[in-house]
């Protein structure tokens, strides 16, 4: 959600901070600000709206200095406004602080401060931190921060400096990511590694309840009990050019077209084709325990939840596991059987999703084997789970996930294949799956070659305001994911439904102004899907079908057809996903939407 960028070194801080904020725009925000100091004067500039508006304001009010902090805010406490934007300051304008997260007990803390005579200038929970630090500051900023954070309940990633300590930035985290960047004679920090890559690929991830001090010539890390932490820097495996648009109009379109490569990366070194099995090094240490499990729960949010829904069908097909899929945000409210015979797999693109982290911590408390599937190396979920698998999909900048979703589906299939070959899956069946997996990248490229035709179809449907997406069996989760993509980036109402539920309510919505996108593979559900389409056409509804290549029958039942190559049943949904992504993208573009930064949404949801 919110974004943090910090710099201390010998260069002018403002251009580095602004560039870093622009690298974080995809996370979602509604205001931005920075504070830069030259050791004598501190420049504070804040603005509502885009980072570009902040940049224009700075041109009028020059900010010079070699140390500073910057922030993009996604409003929680208080509407988007200049007073509520970060950095927040106190009554003396000596402490400058940026904050990601939510301080849950801010009201009680604020009441105590009001009794002591403090006055507040914003509606934010963050300003409480500033006033508390002012209260406790006695010349040692880090010591004051630690005292304050022992009083705080909630989540935070904070960065701050004090006017009286112009050569020091203090950072701290609990539940909201912060990453240190180790440069040449300079140090940086950010809430997302993407903001650091233009300057360094050497990073250190702060863990929960840790504090870092950045000076001009060194840094240190300790926990909140003043114990020193020694941690080696990690090398980020992809460079800044991987996060550029490379000639595409939007990051989302670029990432859709990167999906064949993302699938190849997900498969690389992970298929033992002669044995019809997968090899996942990240699970080797727990493989014996995993094989002995009776139950597995997938916990995730948003698009990752739909990947889990598809995985449920696949695991039930090829393994002996009893499978549950849970919204991570609801997981803690259920009285589930979680014990040594239960595995819980957290699925998260960022590895920082707050609800998914909370679900993992609950599962660990009850004795389950906790695993992770994430794209970001060193992320919190990767560190807090016992084992897991990385996507290696490269950076995904577009808020609406595309290539990571497909990568998740591939890796979940590999997990099912791995376990299944120790259970019910025969060698012949394993070979059948591995060979189909190998064909996926080439088949995906063939679908992407149809982008101009999909754009033409999308343009015809861009004026409608409501859509129904339907599918059965493996393609039911894909119908929901397709509807989500349209909602996210075009702001149109779309519902994903199991096609068998048509007569239980949704059919009442069908009319000439309510088109349906139907996923119609040539599998055991084909005849039933045709029946559903007939019901829609009988009510003058328009239908766009995603259907198999060579299906000569489907065109006679629908208004438009997008053909995709055929694969085995459990992998067909992966191919059917691409047309739905492109359909949503081209409709959003036709409607003039901000595709990479859709309103009210954030790439990484780090608050519950």
Other Cβ atoms less than 10 A from the Cβ of 325: the count is 22
Q: 387 and 282 in contact (C-beta within 8 Å)?
A: yes
Is the pLDDT at 392 greater than 60? The verdict is yes
Pairing of β 466-471 and β 516-520:
parallel
Fold classification of 3-236 (topology level): 3.60.20
Catalytic residue annotation: 2, 603
Measure the CA–CA gap between 16 and 23, rounded to whole angstroms.
Answer: 11
Rounded mean pLDDT of 222-243? 80
Is the pLDDT at 80 greater than 70? The verdict is yes
pLDDT in tens, 109-136: 999 999 998 999 999 999 999 999 999 9
18's CB contacts (< 8 A; 6+ apart) are 34, 51, 54, 55, 58, 70
Same-fold call for 245-444 versus 450-594? yes
What ranges do the domains of the chain cover?
A: 3-236, 245-444, 450-594
Fold classification of 245-444 (topology level): Rossmann fold (3.40.50)
The dihedral region occupied by 498, where left means phi > 0, alpha psi between -120 and 50, and beta the remainder, is beta
Would you place residue 564 in the very low, low, confident or very high pLDDT band (cuts 50, 70, 90)? very high
Measure the CA–CA gap between 403 and 59, rounded to whole angstroms.
Answer: 38
Q: Which two tokens stand for residue 66?
A: 């070699």
Instruction: Determine the number of helices (DSSP H) and then strands (DSSP E) in the chain.
Output: 18, 27
| Contacts for 103-112: CB closer than 8 Å, 24+ residues apart | 103/128, 103/129, 103/152, 103/153, 103/154, 103/156, 104/153, 104/154, 105/152, 105/153, 105/154, 106/77, 106/154, 109/151, 109/152
CATH architecture of the domain 450-594 equals 3-Layer(aba) Sandwich (3.40)
Q: pTM (2 decimals)?
A: 0.77
Other Cβ atoms less than 10 A from the Cβ of 150: the count is 10
Q: Is 250 helix (H, G, I), strand (E, B) or coil?
A: coil
pLDDT in tens, 5-44: 999 999 999 999 999 998 888 766 889 999 999 888 899 9
């Amino acid at each position: 959600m919110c974004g943090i960028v910090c710099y201390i070194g010998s260069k002018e801080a403002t251009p580095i901070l602004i560039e870093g904020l622009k690298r974080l725009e995809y996370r979602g925000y509604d205001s931005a600000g920075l504070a830069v100091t030259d050791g004598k004067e501190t420049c504070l500039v804040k603005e509502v709206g885009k980072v570009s508006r902040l940049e224009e304001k700075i041109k009028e009010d020059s900010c010079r200095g070699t140390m500073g902090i910057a922030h993009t805010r996604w409003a929680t406490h208080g509407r988007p406004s200049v007073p509520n934007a970060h950095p927040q300051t106190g009554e003396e304008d000596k402490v400058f602080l940026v904050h990601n997260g939510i301080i849950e007990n801010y009201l009680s803390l604020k009441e105590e401060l009001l009794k002591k005579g403090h006055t507040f200038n914003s509606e934010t929970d963050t300003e409480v931190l500033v006033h508390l630090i002012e209260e406790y500051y006695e010349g040692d900023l880090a010591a004051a921060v630690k005292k304050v954070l022992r009083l705080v309940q909630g989540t935070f990633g904070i960065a701050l400096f004090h006017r009286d300590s112009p050569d020091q930035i203090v950072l701290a985290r609990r539940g909201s990511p912060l990453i240190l960047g180790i440069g040449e004679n300079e140090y940086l920090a950010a809430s997302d590694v993407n903001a650091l890559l233009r300057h360094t690929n050497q990073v250190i991830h702060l863990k929960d309840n840790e504090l870092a001090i950045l000076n001009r010539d060194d840094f240190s890390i300790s926990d909140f009990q003043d114990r020193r932490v020694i941690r080696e820097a990690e090398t980020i495996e992809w460079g800044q050019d991987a996060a550029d648009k490379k000639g595409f109009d939007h990051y989302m379109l670029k990432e859709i077209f990167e999906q064949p490569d993302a699938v190849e990366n997900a498969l690389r070194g992970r298929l033992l084709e002669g044995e019809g099995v997968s090899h996942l090094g990240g699970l080797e240490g727990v493989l014996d325990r995993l094989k002995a499990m009776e139950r597995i729960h997938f916990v995730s949010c948003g698009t990752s939840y739909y990947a889990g829904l598809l995985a449920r069908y696949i695991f039930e097909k090829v393994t002996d596991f009893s499978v549950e899929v849970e919204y991570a945000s609801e997981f803690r409210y259920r009285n589930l059987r979680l014990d040594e015979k239960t595995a819980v797999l957290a699925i998260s693109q960022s590895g920082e999703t707050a609800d998914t982290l909370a679900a993992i911590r609950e599962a660990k408390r009850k004795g389950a084997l906790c695993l992770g599937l994430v794209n970001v190396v060193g992320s919190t979920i990767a560190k807090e789970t016992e084992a897991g698998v990385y996507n290696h999909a490269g950076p995904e900048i577009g808020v609406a996930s595309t290539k990571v979703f497909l990568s998740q589906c591939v890796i979940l299939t590999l997990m099912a294949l791995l376990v299944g070959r120790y259970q019910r899956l025969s060698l012949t069946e394993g070979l059948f799956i591995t060979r189909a997996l190998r064909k996926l990248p080439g088949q995906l490229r063939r679908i992407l070659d149809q982008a101009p035709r999909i754009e033409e179809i999308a343009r015809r449907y861009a004026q409608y305001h409501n859509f129904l997406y339907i599918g059965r069996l493996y393609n039911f989760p894909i119908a929901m994911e397709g509807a989500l993509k349209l909602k996210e980036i075009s702001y149109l109402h779309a519902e994903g439904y199991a096609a068998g539920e048509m007569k239980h309510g949704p059919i009442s919505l069908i009319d000439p102004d309510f088109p349906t996108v139907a996923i119609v593979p040539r599998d055991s559900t084909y005849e039933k899907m045709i029946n559903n389409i007939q019901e829609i056409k009988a009510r003058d509804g328009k239908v766009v079908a995603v259907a198999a290549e060579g299906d000569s029958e489907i065109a006679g039942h629908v208004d438009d057809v997008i053909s995709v190559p055929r694969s085995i049943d459990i992998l067909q949904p992966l191919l059917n996903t691409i047309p739905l992504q492109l359909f949503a993208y081209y409709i959003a573009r036709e409607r003039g939407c901000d595709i990479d930064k859709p309103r009210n949404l954030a790439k990484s949801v780090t608050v519950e």
